[in-house]
Amino acid sequence: MPDLQVINRVTGELEIESVYGDAALELVYGDSLFARLVGRPLLLRLVRTAPFAALYGWWQRQSWSRQKIQPFIERFDVDCSEFALAPSAFSSFNDFFTRCLKEDARPIDSNPDSLVIPADGRYRFIPRIDPTLTVHVKGQEIDLPRLLGSAETAKRYAGGSMLIARLCPTDYHRFHFPCDGISATPRLINGWLYSVNPIALERFSNIFCENRRFINEIETEKFGCIQYLEVGATCVGSVTHTHEGNTPCSKGAEKGFFSFGASALILIFEPKRLRFCDDILKFSTESCELRCLMGQAMAFRSQE
User: Is 241 a known active-site residue?
Assistant: no
User: Is 120 a known active-site residue?
Assistant: yes
Q: Is residue 87 within 8 Å of 80, Cβ to Cβ?
A: yes
The residues that bridge with 183 in the sheet, in sequence order, are 218, 247
Q: Which helix (H) or strand (E) holds 176?
A: strand 174-176
Q: What does each C-alpha distance from 172 to 61, 119, 150, 198 come to in angstroms?
A: 17, 8, 31, 19
Q: Which of 109, 120, 171, 173 is catalytic?
A: 120
Question: Beta strand 289-292 with 4-8: parallel, antiparallel or unpaired?
Answer: parallel
Q: Which of 161, 183, 259, 263 is catalytic?
A: 263
Look at residue 264 and give its three-state secondary structure: strand
Q: Is residue 177 within 8 Å of 218, Cβ to Cβ?
A: yes
Q: DSSP letter at 19?
A: P
Question: Beta strand 297-301 with 187-189: parallel, antiparallel or unpaired?
Answer: unpaired
User: Is 176 a known active-site residue?
Assistant: yes
Q: Which of 114, 171, 176, 259 is catalytic?
A: 176
Q: Which conformational region is residue 252 in: left (phi greater than 0), alpha (psi within -120 to 50 degrees), or beta? A: left
Closest CA to 140 of 226, 188, 211, 228: 211
Q: Catalytic residues, which ones?
A: 120, 176, 263
